[in-house]
């Protein structure tokens, strides 16, 4: 008598919703949703009847694309996490078998489906974002192993592509050249923010062979590079806003930059100690400057 075959997933318990939510890390969704809001504002298009597209866009950049990237990362890091962070959903067995991979694949498919119904430019941005989500963690690329490509990929997807998505959702078309220029500059500046995020794992990165800038260059040099990477694009943003007739907004963004530079002086005294403090203060001023620039581009309040 022939034996009955059983699907492999049938032998593995279905993950609980709270464990799936933990895998998708909702706390990480805030930065891309913020940049998406900047894109919405910068378009200058009244929300009005665009609410369904706005909600679809927020779903895309938050739980779908960003959440999927977290699932991809945890799946391909499961062996390392089993040693360093065994309580995470996958190494702890709360998400058992290959469910971690299936969740990432399902998230990818749903994101593409939602993006396809939202617009061609949103679909294009989503495709690029998902490619980077997989390339960041999955072999053979493993962009996270590089101190250049890793932070650059995260900066582009978290800031640039999500801003692009917000503007495209509202306009239903390719964003204007001015919007594209500003979002590219803020993406470039976010490279510095992502470099600072690597400071929390310098010793671990060195042990695992991850070539983050702090691990390769030392924390002092990496901190100076991060500060320059954040400041220089903002100077260009200020100059462009002023040249486009948005003098008030340029002044506001300039004020936020002055505040960041003042905070950077303390950061550079002891980067390892003050990076968490700077992320809560200086990075907050950076993203507030993003929103101010978006208001200027969108002509909100005539600024």
Confidence of residue 201 (pLDDT cuts 50, 70, 90): confident
Residue at a domain's end among 124, 151, 174: 174
Cβ contact 28:148 at 8 Å? no
Q: Tell me the per-residue pLDDT of 231-240, one tens digit each, with 9 for 90 and over.
A: 999 999 999 9
Confidence of residue 1 (pLDDT cuts 50, 70, 90): very low
Q: Which domain holds residue 269?
A: 176-303
What percent of the chain stands above pLDDT 90?
Answer: 79
Residue 31 has pLDDT above 60, yes or no: yes
Residue at a domain's end among 124, 141, 174: 174
- Tell me, what's the pLDDT at 10? 54
203 or 92, which is more confident = 92
Residue 43 has pLDDT above 70, yes or no: yes
Residue 181 lies in a domain: yes
Residue 266 has pLDDT above 50, yes or no: yes
Residue 3 lies in a domain: no
Average confidence score pLDDT of the chain:
91
- Tell me, what's the pLDDT at 300? 63
Rounded average pLDDT over 81-91: 87
Residues 121 and 193 in one domain: no
Candidates 169, 164, 296; CA nearest to 239 is: 296
């Amino acid at each position: 008598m022939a034996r009955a075959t059983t699907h492999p997933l049938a032998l593995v318990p279905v993950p609980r919703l709270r464990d799936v939510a933990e895998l998708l890390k909702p706390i990480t969704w805030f930065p891309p949703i913020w940049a998406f809001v900047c894109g919405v504002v910068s378009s200058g298009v009244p929300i009005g009847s665009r609410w369904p597209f706005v909600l679809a866009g927020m779903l895309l950049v938050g739980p779908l694309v960003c959440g999927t990237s977290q699932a991809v990362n945890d799946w391909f890091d499961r062996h390392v996490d089993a040693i360093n962070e065994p309580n995470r959903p996958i190494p702890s067995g709360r998400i058992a078998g290959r469910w971690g991979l299936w969740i990432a694949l399902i998230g990818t498919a749903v994101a593409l489906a939602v993006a396809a119904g939202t617009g061609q430019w949103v679909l294009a941005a989503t495709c690029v974002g998902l490619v980077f989500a997989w390339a960041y963690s999955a072999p053979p690329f493993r962009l996270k192993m590089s101190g250049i490509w890793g932070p650059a990929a995260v900066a582009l997807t978290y800031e640039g592509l999500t801003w692009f998505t917000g503007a495209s959702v509202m306009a239903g078309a390719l964003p204007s050249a001015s919007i594209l220029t500003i979002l590219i500059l803020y993406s470039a500046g976010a490279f510095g923010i992502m470099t600072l995020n690597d400071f929390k794992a310098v010793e671990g990165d060195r042990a695992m062979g991850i070539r983050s800038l702090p691990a390769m260059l030392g924390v002092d040099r990496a901190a100076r590079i991060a500060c320059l990477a954040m400041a220089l694009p903002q100077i260009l943003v200020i100059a462009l806003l002023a040249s486009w007739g948005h003098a008030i907004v340029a002044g506001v963004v300039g004020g936020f930059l002055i505040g960041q530079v003042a905070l950077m002086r303390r950061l550079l005294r002891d980067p390892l100690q003050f990076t968490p403090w700077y992320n809560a203060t200086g990075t907050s001023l950076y993203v507030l400057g993003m929103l101010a620039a978006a208001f200027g581009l969108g002509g909100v309040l005539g600024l």
